[in-house]
């Protein structure tokens, strides 16, 4: 039973996110300027800042590279689920999840170009 519950966690989370996206109009899912700014900060500014800070502190290259790529990942679906659990409006979190996921198709390869 524990394995079965663990195996359903990710698909269930994705279904919850998908259902909250389905309720939003397409114009709202695409996002507003503040969603794009926060996504750019989350996907580019923060990882590059952490990379520079770790490099300055003398952290080994392999650890620095791994941490930078992990930090450059899109926003997790937990934010939307927390909004739903605590009775908040999940639309902004859903927008950010969607935009960062789509944008990470381009930003993750850009961030990994640092490691050459």
Check residue 96 and give its pLDDT: 87
Domain hosting residue 81, numbered range: 2-115
- Report phi then psi at 84, rounded to 5: -65, -40
Using alpha carbons, select from 63, 68, 92, 62 the residue that is nearest to residue 79.
Answer: 92
What CA–CA distance (Å, rounded) separates 79 from 86?
A: 11
What CA–CA distance (Å, rounded) separates 107 from 111?
A: 6
Check residue 61 and give its pLDDT: 92
Residue 64 CA to chain centroid, in angstroms?
Answer: 19
Q: What is the CA radius of gyration of the chain?
A: 16
Record the pTM. 0.78
Number of domains in the chain: 1
pLDDT band of residue 47 (cuts 50, 70, 90) is very high
């Amino acid at each position: 039973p524990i394995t079965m519950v663990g195996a359903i966690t990710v698909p269930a989370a994705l279904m919850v996110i998908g259902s909250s996206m389905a309720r939003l109009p397409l114009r709202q899912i695409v996002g507003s300027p503040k969603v794009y700014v926060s996504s750019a900060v989350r996907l580019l500014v923060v990882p590059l800042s952490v990379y520079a800070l770790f490099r300055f502190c003398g952290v080994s290259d392999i650890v620095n590279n791994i941490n930078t790529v992990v930090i450059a990942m899109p926003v997790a679906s937990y934010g939307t689920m927390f909004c739903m659990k605590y009775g908040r409006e999940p639309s902004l979190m859903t927008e950010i999840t969607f935009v960062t996921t789509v944008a990470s198709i381009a930003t993750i390869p850009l961030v990994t170009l640092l490691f050459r």
